[in-house]
């Protein structure tokens, strides 16, 4: 048999020597042009690490680029897409397609995270005793909903009056008290010592390790002295401690009581007594650490009952005292002692988390700037799993504030820069996801109990970061749909091909948020409004998505029922704030349904999320099935109401009995919907933004 002739090997295609950073990290072929084809397709900036490489271009193109650079100095919003068009050969099919699309995309390619009109938006205040107007913050979830509602009413019902909003700061739970005299405080009507200790333990459990307002040993020692000795003398001599004790009782009653009939907030009887005894701020420095704990605790109660202005004021007072005492710096253990330094460090990071939470909710600038903080977040070698959860909550709170301050601007920006900063945010989120995965893996490795409450909370905070970071894309599409009668329909394929993964990720996070809040292992928080804000934000996100993407909406009907069921549960247990949020959500749902109906009636292009509709629809279907089962349980058995004050606030186990309890870390990771690999894959799709993950700064006119 004749020997087989040797096969001639095909020459391997060599990669371009001067590939851009994004193509190198994605391991894809780069055209070598400036910008390259991949970066043009992804609407991202094209960076080359090796500045010495040369690219040959025509003199005409060089002149055009120079003219464009001069135009950048005169225009605040450079058109990156136009530069991409000029970089293409004139006869290429890609060039022809881009020229055809330019008539629809060139003028409306710029993306804005808020796109609400300037100057600042205000609305009428109907309350006669209040100021005549209410300012709407640029990024508060509540004000975002109000702005969106007015915007949609203006477009859908242009002949109707603008109207006003009934809810104002402090209206849901009006509280009144008179400052007490400097005489001995009233000590009547207080609970027994064993019940007070029970309430103290309930407060510690519900606040968790992230909100540390008590030094257990000193507080309990003083309480024993109060009950076993001369109570009136102790209350008079240690007035600040007595105020802290009354605030503890107020929170304890709020956590363990479930009374729907009361017009006052839960625990208000003790809270008003505490506020009437609050010392003058001029004497706060006499016991500054205790003063910080007391004023911050009062601010948290105000925040829970929707007194947003008072909450912000009291928290700000606590922060300023803490800064005057140097809590934001490393304090010397030799002079102050290890326990006092630890107490100050824990208290500082409690204030930090509260500041980020309050500022995010109110839409205000952060009171604490990261650049001035030098104290340690934790002590090396002493971190427990719970302490690690606190560290993660601090980092996620910091990231959330960065998202709001960087993405939610009033100026318009192009899609490319928006994707750059979103990619940087996702890179940070992926790192936090890896930390969460590690904590959960260690928890299930060494323990037989369920996941601690702090891990659930940081999981919800993680998904909130994703939703807030991707919400501008939904708003962009929604506003374009509202303007479609004026501008006509357009081809959405270029936009959706670039942003599908981001939009889908935000929708998935909203779905996972509702699934976590309805999990049988999750203890739904009724008095503190953190869980209410999570469900409200997720419901708003999914309501907007339903109006824009019919294929997702077909299987997403359960999400509305989920959000309403959670709010109904809170309302049944005495939370009136949930009733107002539910009313706001219902109005927005009606407007979004009207928008979807008009979009369908006009025959506009049906929007889809290519390749990901099925996976999203599956998640939504699972959520819908769960809530249908929950609704059936509610109809048959009803909610457990009227718990005795002496019984700890156990949530209704039968309500969420339809969900299986996760038994492994993999099952739990699937339950909470956090995957660092998925985030990294999204980063790969939209292009790696910066090799060092440097935060992107918005370009100026130059």
User: Averaged over 150-160, what is the pLDDT?
Assistant: 86
DSSP 698: P
How much is the pLDDT for 648?
Answer: 32
What is the secondary structure of 116-168 as a DSSP string? --SS--EEEB--TTS-SEEEPPSS-HHHHHHHHHHHHHHHH-TTS----BS--
Read off the pLDDT band of 140 (50, 70, 90).
confident
- By C-alpha distance, which of 545, 535, 531, 526 is closest to 627? 535
How much of the chain is helix, strand and coil, in % rounded to 5?
60, 0, 40
User: Averaged over 473-499, what is the pLDDT?
Assistant: 81
What is the secondary structure of 327-367 as a DSSP string? TTSPPPHHHH-HHHHHHHHHHHHHHHHHHHHHHHHHT---S
Give residue for tokens 């996972």: 512
CB crowding 204-223: b at 16 or more within 10 Å, else e: bebbbbbbbbbbeeebeebb
Is residue 152 within 8 Å of 211, Cβ to Cβ?
no
Q: Is the pLDDT of residue 226 over 50?
A: yes
Length of the chain: 702
- Give the Cα separation of 565 and 575 in Å (integer): 14
Contacts of 563 (CB under 8 A, 6+ apart): 514, 535, 536, 538, 539, 542, 585
Give residue for tokens 């009291």: 314
- Give the Cα separation of 348 and 353 in Å (integer): 9
How would you write 133-145 as a 3-class SS string? EEECCCCCHHHHH
Cα-flanking dihedrals φ and ψ of residue 124, to 5°? -70, 145
Domain-located, residue 167: no
Number of domains in the chain: 3
Contacts of 261 (CB under 8 A, 6+ apart): none
One domain for residues 398 and 331 = no
Q: Is the pLDDT of residue 354 over 60?
A: yes
One domain for residues 313 and 406 = no
- Give the Cα separation of 442 and 48 in Å (integer): 41
Read off the pLDDT band of 490 (50, 70, 90).
confident
One domain for residues 660 and 518 = yes
Cα-flanking dihedrals φ and ψ of residue 140, to 5°? -60, 140
User: Averaged over 500-516, what is the pLDDT?
Assistant: 90
Neighbours of 142 (CB within 10 A): 23
One domain for residues 461 and 604 = yes
Domain-located, residue 288: yes
Last residue of a domain, one of 89, 107, 136: 89
Read off the pLDDT band of 326 (50, 70, 90).
very high
One domain for residues 347 and 402 = no
If you compute the radius of gyration of the chain from its CA atoms, what whole number of angstroms results? 28
Which is more confidently placed, 559 or 384?
Answer: 559
Expressed as residue numbers, the domain containing 361 is: 193-305+307-370
Percent of the chain surpassing pLDDT 70:
67
Q: Mean pLDDT: which of 507-511, 630-634, 695-699 is highest?
A: 507-511
Which is more confidently placed, 130 or 323?
Answer: 323
Domain-located, residue 337: yes
Helices (H) and strands (E) in the chain, counts: 27, 2
One domain for residues 560 and 666 = yes
CA atoms within 13 A on the CB side of 353: 27
Give residue for tokens 């427990």: 384
What is the secondary structure of 163-211 as a DSSP string? --BS--TT-SS--------SSPPP-TTPPPHHHHHHHHHHHHHHHTTTS
Estimate to the nearest angstrom the gap between the alpha carbon of 20 and the chain centroid: 34
How much is the pLDDT for 119?
Answer: 59
One domain for residues 557 and 655 = yes
> What are the angstrom distances between the C-alpha of 235 and each of 177, 198, 225, 229?
19, 20, 10, 11
Q: What is the pLDDT of residues 79-133, one digit of tens each?
A: 444 434 434 444 444 444 444 444 344 344 455 444 454 556 777 766 655 666 7
What tokens were used for 562?
Answer: 């989920």
Domain-located, residue 110: no
Can you tell me whether residue 237 is helix, strand or coil? helix
One domain for residues 657 and 536 = yes
How would you write 529-545 as a 3-class SS string? CHHHHHHHHHHHHHHHH
One domain for residues 434 and 577 = yes
What are the DSSP E strand ranges found in 213-260?
none
Question: pTM score, two decimals?
Answer: 0.76
Crossing angle of helices 141-156/576-601, nearest 10°? 40
Neighbours of 147 (CB within 10 A): 20
Q: What is the pLDDT of residues 428-480, one digit of tens each?
A: 888 888 888 887 777 656 555 667 788 889 899 999 999 999 998 998 889 88
User: Averaged over 529-540, what is the pLDDT?
Assistant: 94
User: Averaged over 658-684, what is the pLDDT?
Assistant: 60
Read off the pLDDT band of 348 (50, 70, 90).
very high
Domain-located, residue 213: yes
Read off the pLDDT band of 537 (50, 70, 90).
very high
Question: Rounded to the nearest 5 degrees, what angle is found at the Cα of 667, between the Cα atoms of 423 and 391?
Answer: 50
Q: What is the pLDDT of residues 19-43, one digit of tens each?
A: 887 787 776 788 887 778 777 666 5
User: Averaged over 148-166, what is the pLDDT?
Assistant: 78
One domain for residues 677 and 537 = yes
How much is the pLDDT for 57?
Answer: 63
How much is the pLDDT for 321?
Answer: 94
Instruction: Decide: residue 536, CB within 10 A, 0-12 exposed, 13-18 middle, 19+ buried.
Output: buried
Read off the pLDDT band of 541 (50, 70, 90).
very high
First-to-last C-alpha distance (Å) of the chain: 75
Is residue 510 within 8 Å of 463, Cβ to Cβ?
yes
Q: Mean pLDDT: which of 53-57, 169-173, 206-210, 319-323 is highest?
A: 319-323
Domain-located, residue 362: yes
What tokens were used for 209?
Answer: 């390790």
What tokens were used for 142?
Answer: 């509540």
Read off the pLDDT band of 203 (50, 70, 90).
very high
552-566, 628-642, 677-691: least confidently modelled range: 628-642
Cα-flanking dihedrals φ and ψ of residue 331, to 5°? -90, 150
One domain for residues 229 and 344 = yes
> What are the angstrom distances between the C-alpha of 72 and each of 27, 219, 533?
32, 62, 41
DSSP 413: B
Q: Is the pLDDT of residue 242 over 90?
A: yes
> What are the angstrom distances between the C-alpha of 180 and each of 185, 273, 292, 606?
8, 9, 21, 65
Is residue 656 within 8 Å of 630, Cβ to Cβ?
yes
- Assign residue 44 the CATH number of its domain: 4.10.240
Neighbours of 467 (CB within 10 A): 25
Is residue 123 within 8 Å of 133, Cβ to Cβ?
yes
Q: What is the pLDDT of residues 586-597, one digit of tens each?
A: 999 999 999 999
Q: Mean pLDDT: which of 10-19, 187-196, 624-633 is highest?
A: 187-196
Average pLDDT, the chain: 76
Would you state the torsion angle of the CA atoms of residues 408, 412, 414, 417, taken in this order, to the nearest 10 degrees? -40
Read off the pLDDT band of 255 (50, 70, 90).
very high
Read off the pLDDT band of 256 (50, 70, 90).
very high
Domain-located, residue 347: yes
- By C-alpha distance, which of 253, 263, 269 is closest to 206? 253
CA atoms within 13 A on the CB side of 544: 29
Domain-located, residue 454: yes
Q: Is the pLDDT of residue 178 over 50?
A: yes
Give residue for tokens 């390749």: 611
User: Averaged over 140-150, what is the pLDDT?
Assistant: 81
- By C-alpha distance, which of 76, 697, 43, 699 is closest to 402? 697
One domain for residues 311 and 397 = no
């Amino acid at each position: 048999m004749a020997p087989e002739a040797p096969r001639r090997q095909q020459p391997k295609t060599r990669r371009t020597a001067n590939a851009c950073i994004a193509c190198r990290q994605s391991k894809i072929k780069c055209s070598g042009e400036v910008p390259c084809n991949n970066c043009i397709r992804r609407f991202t900036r094209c960076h080359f690490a090796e500045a010495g490489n040369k690219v040959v271009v025509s003199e005409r193109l060089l002149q055009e680029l120079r003219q464009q650079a001069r135009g950048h100095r005169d225009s605040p919003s450079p058109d990156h897409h136009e530069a991409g068009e000029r970089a293409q050969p004139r006869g290429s099919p890609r060039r022809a397609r881009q020229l055809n699309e330019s008539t629809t995309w060139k003028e409306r390619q710029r993306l804005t995270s808020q796109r609400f009109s300037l100057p600042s938006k205000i609305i009428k205040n109907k309350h006669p005793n209040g100021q005549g107007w209410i300012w709407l913050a640029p990024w508060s979830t509540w004000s975002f909903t109000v702005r969106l509602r007015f915007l949609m009413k203006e477009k859908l019902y242009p002949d109707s009056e603008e109207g006003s909003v009934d809810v104002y700061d402090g209206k849901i739970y009006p509280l009144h008290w008179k400052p007490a005299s400097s005489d001995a405080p009233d000590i009547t009507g207080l609970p027994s010592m064993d019940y007070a200790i029970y309430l103290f333990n309930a407060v510690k459990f519900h606040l968790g390790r992230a909100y540390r307002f008590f030094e257990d040993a000193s507080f309990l020692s003083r309480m024993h002295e109060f009950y076993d000795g001369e109570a009136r003398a102790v209350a008079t001599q240690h007035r600040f401690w007595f105020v802290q004790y009354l605030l503890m009782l107020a929170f304890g009653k709020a956590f363990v009581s479930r009374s729907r009939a009361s017009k006052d907030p839960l625990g208000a009887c003790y809270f008003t007594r505490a506020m009437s005894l609050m010392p003058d701020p001029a004497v706060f420095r006499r016991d500054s650490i205790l003063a910080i704990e007391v004023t911050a605790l009062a601010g948290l109660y105000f925040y829970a009952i929707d007194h947003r202005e008072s909450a912000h004021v009291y928290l700000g007072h606590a922060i300023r005292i803490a800064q005057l005492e140097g809590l934001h710096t490393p304090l010397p253990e030799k002079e102050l002692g290890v326990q006092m330094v630890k107490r100050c460090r824990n208290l500082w990071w409690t204030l930090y988390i509260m500041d980020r939470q309050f500022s995010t909710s109110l839409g205000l600038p952060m009171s604490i700037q990261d650049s001035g903080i030098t104290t340690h977040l934790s002590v090396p070698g002493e971190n427990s799993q719970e302490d690690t959860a606190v560290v993660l909550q601090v980092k996620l709170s910091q990231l959330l504030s960065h998202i709001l301050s960087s993405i939610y601007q009033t100026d318009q920006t192009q899609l490319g820069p928006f994707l750059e900063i979103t990619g940087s945010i996702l890179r940070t989120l992926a790192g936090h996801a890896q930390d969460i995965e590690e904590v959960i893996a260690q928890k299930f490795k060494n323990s037989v109990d369920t996941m601690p409450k702090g891990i659930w909370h940081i999981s919800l905070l993680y998904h909130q970061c994703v939703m807030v970071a991707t919400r501008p894309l939904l708003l962009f599409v929604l506003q374009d749909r509202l303007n479609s009668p004026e501008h006509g329909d357009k081809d959405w394929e270029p936009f959706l091909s670039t942003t599908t993964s981001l939009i889908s990720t935000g929708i998935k996070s909203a779905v996972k948020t509702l699934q976590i809040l309805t999990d049988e292992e999750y203890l739904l928080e009724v008095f503190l409004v953190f869980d209410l804000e999570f469900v409200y934000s997720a419901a708003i996100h999914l309501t907007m998505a339903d109006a824009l993407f019919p294929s997702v909406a077909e299987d997403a009907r359960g999400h509305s029922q989920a959000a309403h069921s959670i709010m109904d549960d809170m309302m049944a247990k005495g939370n009136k704030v949930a009733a107002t949020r539910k009313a706001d959500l219902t109005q927005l749902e009606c407007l979004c349904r009207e928008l979807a109906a008009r979009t369908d009636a006009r025959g506009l292009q049906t929007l889809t999320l290519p390749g990901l509709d099925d996976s999203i629809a599956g998640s939504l279907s699972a959520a819908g099935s769960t809530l249908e089962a929950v609704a059936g349980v509610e109809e048959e058995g009803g909610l457990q109401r009227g718990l005795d004050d002496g019984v700890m606030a156990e949530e209704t186990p039968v309500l969420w009995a339809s969900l299986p309890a996760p038994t492994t870390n993999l099952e739990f990771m699937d339950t909470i919907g956090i995957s660092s690999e998925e985030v990294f894959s999204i980063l790969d799709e939209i292009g790696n933004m910066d090799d060092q993950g440097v935060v992107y700064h918005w370009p100026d006119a130059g």
